[in-house]
Amino acid sequence: MKDIEKYLKTYFGFEDFRPGQREIIKNVLDGGDSLVLMSTGGGKSLCFQLPALKLPGLTLVISPLISLMKDQVDALKANGIGADFINSSLLGAEIAKRQEAARQGETKIIYLAPERLAMPAFQDFLKTLEVSLIAIDEAHCISEWGHDFRPDYRNLIKLREQFKEVPVIALTATATPKVRQDIAVQLGLKGAKLFQTGFNRPNLNYIVRPKRKAFDGLVSLLKEHKNSSAIIYCFSRKETEELAEDLRAEGFSVLAYHAGLEGNVRKETQNKFIRDEINIIAATIAFGMGIDKPDVRLVVHYSLPKSIEGYYQETGRAGRDGLKSDCVLFYNYGDTIKHNYFIKEMEDENEKANARQKLSEMVEYCELNTCRRAFLLSYFGDLSQPNKHPASPVKADPGKAENLDSFKRVYSDSNCGGCDVCFNPREEFDGTVIAQKVLSAVIRTGERFGANYIIAVLKGSGNKKILENNHDRLSVYGIVDDFSLDELKQITRDLIARGFILKSPGEYPTLSLSRAGKDFLSMRKKINLIKPTIEKETKAVKREEELDYDRELFEKLRVQRKWIADERGVPPFVIFSDATLIQMAYYLPQSLESFARISGVGERKLAEWGKIFTDLILKYSRECGLSEREIPAARSGLERRTSRKSSTYAETRKYIKEKLPLKEIAAKRGLTASTIVGHMEKLILAGEEFDIEYMRPSALRFEKIKTAFAESGGAMLAPVREILGEDFSYDELRFARLFL
C-alpha cells in the first residue's frame, strides 16, 4: 500500500485517505468484489480511480451521468491520468478513434453509458480489451426498489458474464438495505464485501419549515448566507425560471438550471456557479450530480422531494468541505398532489406502489416530531457509530432487523443537535387519555380506515360516510373536544412514530394497532406525548382528503370537465385535476375572484373556463341553499410575481397609469374586464400604489353596493348579491369592492 499512498499524492495531491478509502482500495487490488455505500462528498471516485493506475489493464466505469462524464475525464487528464469517455454525445468517427486508443493501451480509465453495453458491436469491441476493473457508479440505478431505477443498468449483468474474473466495485450514496441487497443480486456480487462509511453528515443542519410565505422565508435565508453558494431545488422547469427571475429582482446573483435548457447554456451556468461568478442556482434535480463544489453553504428544497434517497443525495451537495451548512425544506402537504399526478401515470403497478411508498416516507420525514438525522440514518440502515465501519459480507437476506420501523425505535430518543427538532426540543404532556381514545377509535372502526376518518369520528363529524357506517353510534364518536383537528393529527403521527399504530402502504393507507399499541390499551400504561403545536401565521389550504366536499356537485363538475375535454380532444385532467374539482366542491366559489384562488386555476384556465364552472356552482348552491366558503390564501409570493418585467400584471399597471378606461384596457389586452379587475385586486394586495379613482362607479349604485357590503358584514360577494338582487352583476360588485 506504500505505492498506493505515493500515487495518492502524485496524481491526486492528497496526503491521507478519507475514512474507508484505504480498506476499499486494498480489497479492489486483492481482486475482491466490493459494494461501497459512501455519503456524497465522501470520495467514492477515488476508490476506483486510484486502483486503476496500479492495475495493468483498463478500468471500465459505468455511469448514467452523460452530461458530466467530460468533466470527470477532464479532471483526470488534468491530474496526468489517461482517461476518456464514450457516449451518445460523440460522432461515430470520434468513437472509433477513442476505441482504438483504448485497444492500444493509451487509456487507463474509460467512462461508458449503460445503454452502450446492449449494442452487439460494442460488445465485440470490449472483447478486444484487457479489462482489469469494472466500476459501477450510482449503483442504486440497477434496483427497481431504488429512487432512480434505470432499465439500461440491467445490461450490466452481461458485462459481468463477459468478464467473470474481473473484480467489480459498485458505488452509491443512497441505498437502503433492500436496495443494496438487490444491487448484489443483479450484479452477481457473490462474496462481495460491503463497505459502509456511514450516512451521517454531522456538519449539515436539517431544517423543515412550513411552506407559508415561502418566498419571504427564502429571501431571509439567502440574506443570512450572503455571498455564500446556494442551490435551490424546485419541482419544475418553469418554477426554476420564475424563482430565479424573482430573486434577481431582489438583488441576488442567481441563474436557473434545468434539462430543458440548451447544453451550452447548462454548461455555462454550471461553470459560472463553480467559478463563483454567480452565488445561487435555482434548479431541478438535473443539477448537481457529480458537482464537486465544496463550499455550498445552503441547499433549499422549495418543493417536496419525491423520495428520501433523492433528498439525501441533493442535501449531500452542501458542505462537502466539512464546514457547517444548512439544508432547508419548505414543506406543504399540497405538494404531494403534483407527485401523485405523475405516479398515477405510471403503467407498472409495482413501480407505482414503490413510488407511493417513497413519497409517503418523504411526508413522514417532514412531519416528524423526533430527530430528523436519526430518521435519515435509520432509513439507510446506519446503526454503527460514525467512522467505525468495518467491512462485512453482503447478506443474502436483509432480514427483519433491516426494517425501517425497527430502526425508528433504536433512534427514538436521539438528539443530534443539528436539526430543527433537536434545536428546539418539544414540550411533552401526559398523553395517556388521548392516546387511549385514538387507539380505541382505530379498533372500534375495524382497523380499516385512514387517519382523517378516525379523527373525524373522534370529533363527531357529520360526514356522510361515518353516518352510513353507523360509526356515529360508537362510544368513541365525538369524545374529543379538548384538541383541534390539527392537534389530533400531530398526536396520531406521534403514535405512529412510536410504533403504537401501524400505517399500511398504498395510495389510501389505513391504520391498525401494533402489538405495542394493544399492550398499551390492555395494560393501561401511561405515556408522555409531544405537545402539539399549531402554526398561526396563516391558514393553509386544506388537503383534499380532509375536505368534506359535496359529492353531488363534484360529479356535476366532472361531467362539465369531461364535456370540455371531449370537445378539445384532450384527457379530462388537462382541464382540471380531481384535486381542483374537490376544492371547487368544498369552497363553492361563486365569482371569478374566488374561483381564481382555487389551487390549479391559472390565468388561462380562469379566462377560458372560469365563468362556465362558477355559473354551474352558483346555480347548484342556490338550489341547495349553500353559501360560498372563504378560501385561505394558498399562493404565497404574490409580491414577487407581480414584480416580473414580463408579468401580465405589469402591462395592466401600465394602462392604469395612462388612465385608460376599464373596457379599453381589456380590449387592448385581449382579456375580459373581469380578468383586468382581478389584476387590479392582486396589484393592490401586493402593495402597489396607483390611482384608480378615475374609474369610480356612479355614486348612486356605488352607495347601494357599499351599504350592502356593510349589511353583509364581510367582503364576500355572494351575500351582497343576495341583498341587492340580480340587477347587480358579480363583476360590478367585485369592481366596486376595490374602492371600499
Model pLDDT for residues 617-666, shown as the tens digit of each residue: 999 888 887 778 877 654 333 444 444 433 567 788 888 888 888 888 88
Decide: 421 and 209 in contact? Cβ < 8 Å.
Answer: no
User: Is residue 389 in a domain?
Assistant: no
User: Is residue 488 in a domain?
Assistant: yes
Structural domain of 249: 204-381+395-422
Of 325, 312, 316, which Cα lies nearest the Cα of 362? 312
Residue 47 in this model has a pLDDT that exceeds 60? yes
Residue 412 in this model has a pLDDT that exceeds 50? no
**pLDDT exceeding 90 applies to what percent of the chain?**
24
Decide: 600 and 614 in contact? Cβ < 8 Å.
Answer: no
Question: What whole-number distance in Å separates Cα of residue 427 and Cα of residue 369?
Answer: 10
Q: How many domains does the chain have?
A: 4
Q: What is the pTM of this model?
A: 0.57
User: Is residue 280 in a domain?
Assistant: yes
Residue 490 in this model has a pLDDT that exceeds 60? yes
pLDDT in tens, 85-122: 988 878 888 889 999 989 988 899 999 988 888 888 88
Residue 727 in this model has a pLDDT that exceeds 90? no
- Choosing from 196, 229, 247, the residue where a domain stops is 196
Residues 6+ apart with CB under 8 A from 185: none
User: Is residue 388 in a domain?
Assistant: no
DSSP state of 693: G
User: Is residue 131 in a domain?
Assistant: yes
Element (H, E) at 296: strand 296-301
- Choosing from 491, 506, 536, the residue where a domain stops is 536
Residues 6+ apart with CB under 8 A from 608: none
If one compares 205 and 685, the residue with the highest pLDDT of the two is 205
Query: Residue 483 is part of a domain; what is its CATH number?
Result: 1.10.10.10
pLDDT in tens, 545-581: 456 788 889 889 989 988 988 887 766 766 887 778 8
Query: Residue 605 is part of a domain; what is its CATH number?
Result: 1.10.150.80
Verify that 100 and 222 share a domain, yes or no. no
pLDDT in tens, 343-393: 888 888 888 888 888 898 899 899 888 889 988 888 887 754 333 333 333
Verify that 188 and 39 share a domain, yes or no. yes
Verify that 160 and 250 share a domain, yes or no. no
Average pLDDT over residues 232-250: 91
User: Is residue 236 in a domain?
Assistant: yes
Verify that 16 and 164 share a domain, yes or no. yes
Verify that 320 and 187 share a domain, yes or no. no
Verify that 230 and 120 share a domain, yes or no. no
User: Is residue 387 in a domain?
Assistant: no
Verify that 232 and 321 share a domain, yes or no. yes
Residues 6+ apart with CB under 8 A from 644: 242, 245, 246, 249, 650
Decide: 164 and 134 in contact? Cβ < 8 Å.
Answer: no
Average pLDDT over residues 132-142: 89
Cell of 733: 360588485
Of 126, 102, 109, 149, which Cα lies nearest the Cα of 11? 109
pLDDT in tens, 280-301: 999 987 665 546 677 889 999 9
- Choosing from 196, 219, 238, the residue where a domain stops is 196
If one compares 673 and 248, the residue with the highest pLDDT of the two is 248
Verify that 297 and 444 share a domain, yes or no. no
Of 399, 20, 43, 391, which Cα lies nearest the Cα of 193? 391
Query: Residue 104 is part of a domain; what is its CATH number?
Result: 3.40.50.300
Average pLDDT over residues 221-246: 91
Q: Identify the three-state secondary structure at position 230.
A: strand
Verify that 265 and 312 share a domain, yes or no. yes
Please give the full DSSP string across 154-169, using - where no structure is assigned. Answer: GGHHHHHHHTTTS-EE
Verify that 491 and 582 share a domain, yes or no. no
Verify that 471 and 486 share a domain, yes or no. yes
**pLDDT at 680 (0 to 100):** 82
Q: What phi, psi does 739 have (nearest 5°)?
A: -95, 0
Verify that 571 and 720 share a domain, yes or no. yes
Residues 6+ apart with CB under 8 A from 471: 444, 445, 457, 477
User: Is residue 390 in a domain?
Assistant: no
